Amino acid sequence: MADKVTMPIEATHIMMFARSVNDDNQIYYDANYAKNTEVGHVLPPPTFYRSVAQFDPDYFLRPKVGQKWFGSAKGPSGIEGKPASSGGLHAEQHFEYHLPVKPGDVLTVTTKPGKVWEKESQRAGKLVFTETILEYRNQDGELAVTSRGVGVKTERPVDQG
Amino acid sequence: MSLRAADLKVGDVHEEVVVENLSRGLLVMYAGTSGDYNPLHTDEVYTTQSAGYPSVFAHGMLTMGLTGKMLTNFVGDGRLKKFGVRFTNQVWPGDTLTSKATVVAIGEGEIELELATTNQDGKTVVTGSATARVD
């Protein structure tokens, strides 16, 4: 991810995100309903913050104008030959919530590298784990959310045994 | 609708079916909102013919999001302090997932929960923990 990304918190994005995690809690859809809850406003679902990818100009898992995309097109991969790694799989994800977030907030998200380690696996060969820490600060400069993700790159597709 | 420590005891369980017969459509929706357009989650042709998997499979973050629905239904909105998971198995189209939170500790104004989401075969796809504020 880019070192610093601006993430505007928008009600429509929250609504669409809630739909995409199969959650019909009205606090994500209806500002009038939300006003009468303990929270008092629409808020993002707890895993919403990884959607910062939408606002990252460099995010590698989004097709970009004028660039080849490794997903299928005429052939099974849009990039001839052996496609580059898809970037690996997600092994762990942890969030800490420090302050409330609501539509209209503008979060500044900064990346801090974490640890890197390796492990041998029977199902997928050598595994390389990489930790990434994201800090989400609001428009007042206060830390609102911390995210710690662990990604894993596998030597070969995970054996489905 | 918020939890009160006085109404809880260690070992209490809240359990929900969070998705039934998971559709490829939901994977497309999740790609669109999260911004993770990795074709392994939405592009059956690439995933089976180029990447060598039997089918597209769910974003780990979708499974965490589904688990989060169970969690906020249990503890209430705006109550979470921490929420973390490990992805232990892949989730496939057609899966039916059940998420479960177990109270493992009750402290001063907060509770700790152990989390697990399992598929229709009883295989665990996510394990985790959470801390939430309670009255």
Tokens linked to B129: 């923990």
Verify whether the Cβ–Cβ distance B61 to A39 is below 8 Å.
Answer: no
Whether A149 and chain B come into contact, CB under 8 Å, resolves to: no
B45 falls within a domain? no
Is the separation of the CB atoms in B40 and B56 below 8 Å? yes
Q: Residues A87-111: what's their mean pLDDT?
A: 94
B44 falls within a domain? no
pLDDT tens by residue, B91-127 = 999 999 999 999 999 999 999 999 999 999 999 999 9
Residue of A nearest to B2 (CA): A38
Q: Residues A16-40: what's their mean pLDDT?
A: 98
pLDDT in the model for residue B17? 98
Verify whether the Cβ–Cβ distance A86 to B40 is below 8 Å.
Answer: yes
Residue of B nearest to A69 (CA): B39
B10 falls within a domain? yes
pLDDT tens by residue, B35-81 = 999 999 999 999 999 888 999 999 999 999 999 999 999 999 999 99
CB proximity list for A73: less than 8 A, separation 6 or greater: none
Q: Which residues of B touch A86 (CB under 8 A)?
A: 38-40, 51
Domain that holds residue B97: 5-23+58-133
pLDDT in the model for residue B48? 95
Q: Residues A17-23: what's their mean pLDDT?
A: 98
B40 falls within a domain? no
Nearest CA distance, B50 vs chain A (angstrom): 6
Nearest by CB to residue A50, choosing from B50, B61, B90, is B61
User: ipTM surpassing 0.90, yes or no?
Assistant: yes
Is the separation of the CB atoms in B87 and B57 below 8 Å? no
Going by the DSSP 8-state scheme, the letter that residue B20 receives in this structure is: S
Residues 51-110 of A with CB under 8 A from B: 51-56, 59, 61-63, 70-72, 76-77, 83, 86-87, 89-97, 100
Q: Residues B85-92: what's their mean pLDDT?
A: 97
- Could you give all domains of chain A from N- to C-terminal order, each with its CATH number? 4-9+45-61+84-154 (3.10.129.10)
B78 falls within a domain? yes
Instruction: Name the pTM for this structure.
Output: 0.94
B77 falls within a domain? yes
B35 falls within a domain? no
pLDDT in the model for residue A95? 98
Q: Residues A121-147: what's their mean pLDDT?
A: 93
For the cut 90, the answer to whether the pLDDT of residue A154 exceeds it is: no
Cα A44 to the center of its chain, rounded Å: 13
pLDDT in the model for residue A81? 58
CATH classification of the domain holding B17 = 3.10.129.10
* Percent residues over pLDDT 90 in chain A: 77
Give me the number of domains chain B comprises: 1
Nearest CA distance, A123 vs chain B (angstrom): 12
